[in-house]
Amino acid sequence: MTGALLVGLALLGCQRASGGDDAAFGDKVRAYLLSHPEVLREASQKLEAKDAADEDSAHKRAEASLPSLRADLERDPADFTANPAGRITVTEFYDYRCPHCVNVAPKVLDLIHTHPDVRFVFKEMPIFGPVSEHAAQAAWAVRKAGGDYLGLYRDLMGAHGLNDAVIDRIAVAHGARPADLGPAGAGAVKGEIARNTRLFNQLDLGGTPAFIVGDQIILGEDMESVNAAVAKAEASRV
């Protein structure tokens, strides 16, 4: 709380303690704040600064935990990995119905195609409900069948108005077996989603997309930072 606000409320508090009723006290606080709007502005700025500091602290704690989670992030055999022989690993948590994931998907594919030395690990993270969960199941079904996962990723991200029927049509076109898109497949993919959710929460990622490159967590559509982290990793290996 700011100095000016403390002083003002302390004075009003003294008046309240001297016997004023609650309504009168409330009126005095309101009148004081209306007469001194700079107090509210200062308090808001202080709160924003505290929130930013708390977020930065949480981000640093999450990054500090990355070494202990490395194998789960980068080597879960259930995940699809593009360029599996690459020496630099990028992991993405994403949801096919997340607009930010949709926006960044073409850049993700471009990174994979132009940087064969980048192992790109796809972590299904359905946070937008049952349709997103069905899309994750479809991705599992394509992986299970040895189908075209990158094609599925591209087409699901590029589709508008995803629903189960659209998802199934795209999944079958990329190699999924229809039987794997039913209830049995939904049960089979639950373990994978549970593991990804646990990692997502341990790292306090908060939303999708979220990228991990080495010891760095990059949130949102910030592919510029992802590319910079990849370039830094590549330079360190020269």
- Examine the domain organization and report whether 26 and 85 are in the same domain: no
Tell me if the pTM is above 0.75. Answer: yes
Domain shared by 15 and 54, yes or no: yes
Average pLDDT, integer, range 165-175: 98
pLDDT over threshold 80, residue 27? no
Same domain, 73 and 175: yes
- Statement to judge: residues 41 and 143 lie in one domain: no
pLDDT tens digits, 72-117 = 999 999 999 999 999 999 999 999 999 999 999 999 999 999 999 9
How far is residue 30's CA from residue 99's CA, in Å, rounded to a whole number? 41
Q: Are residues 58 and 139 located together in one domain of the fold?
A: no
- At 115-147, the pLDDT tens digits run 999 999 999 999 999 999 999 999 999 999 999
Give the domain extent around 44.
3-64
Taking 50 as the threshold, does the pLDDT of residue 54 lie above it?
A: no
Q: Are residues 205 and 167 in the same domain?
A: yes
Asked if 114 and 13 sit in the same domain, the reply is no
72 and 50 in a common domain: no
Chosen domain end from 38, 64, 90: 64
Residues 37 and 26: their CA atoms lie apart, in Å, by: 16
Is 129 in the same domain as 204? yes
State mean pLDDT over 225-229: 97
- 179 with 196, same domain? yes
Alpha helices, H only, the chain? 3-17, 22-35, 37-64, 66-74, 99-114, 130-144, 149-158, 164-173, 183-202, 223-236
Residue 41 shares a structural domain with residue 113: no
Angle at 84 between CA 222 and CA 194, to 5 degrees: 65
Same domain, 83 and 150: yes
Q: What CATH number is given to the structural domain containing 212?
A: 3.40.30.10
